[in-house]
Amino acid sequence: MQAQKLFADYTTEGIVTLVHKVYEGGGATDEEVGDYTTLEALPNLWETIGVLEAEGAISLSVIDRMWGAAIIQGWAGWEEPVARLRTATQTPGSYAYFERLANKLIRYERRRS
């Protein structure tokens, strides 16, 4: 997936800088805006899965089996950029279901160990 490759290229710190450029008038180039749009694919997916779990449409155990480690690792990489995004856009609820799901999976994994 292109988003994963870009994440490896940018790293967490680079994505924080990218959020600044895109959302806080830091002079993002068209390429950087495109990169950010591509990068958002994964947190958007995890957010969607988080909503599905919150609504009872999919169980935490199924999510854990299919994507557990990826979601936990994804949140570790996106926590700082999301915090910057929330501040820049004044939307404290951005990616709240992704964050909630990652934390639930961490607790779930600890109970299983």
> Tens digits of per-residue pLDDT, 66-108?
999 999 999 999 999 999 999 999 999 999 999 999 999 999 9
Statement: residue 113 has pLDDT above 90: no
Of 98, 52, 109, the closest CA to residue 75 belongs to: 98
**Domain hosting residue 32, numbered range:** 2-112
Residues of the chain above pLDDT 90, percent: 87
The torsion angles phi and psi of 58, rounded to 5 degrees, stand at -150, 140
| pTM of the model as a whole | 0.93
Average pLDDT estimate for 9-21: 95
Answer yes or no: is pLDDT of 1 > 80.
no
| pLDDT number for residue 31 | 96
pLDDT band at 38, cuts 50/70/90?
very high
For residue 100, how many C-alpha atoms fall within 13 Å in the half-sphere facing its CB? 15
Gap between the Cα atoms of 74 and 69, Å rounded: 8
The answer to whether residues 34 and 24 touch, using CB atoms and an 8 Å cutoff, is no
Is pLDDT at 26 greater than 90 in this prediction? no
Domain count, the chain: 1
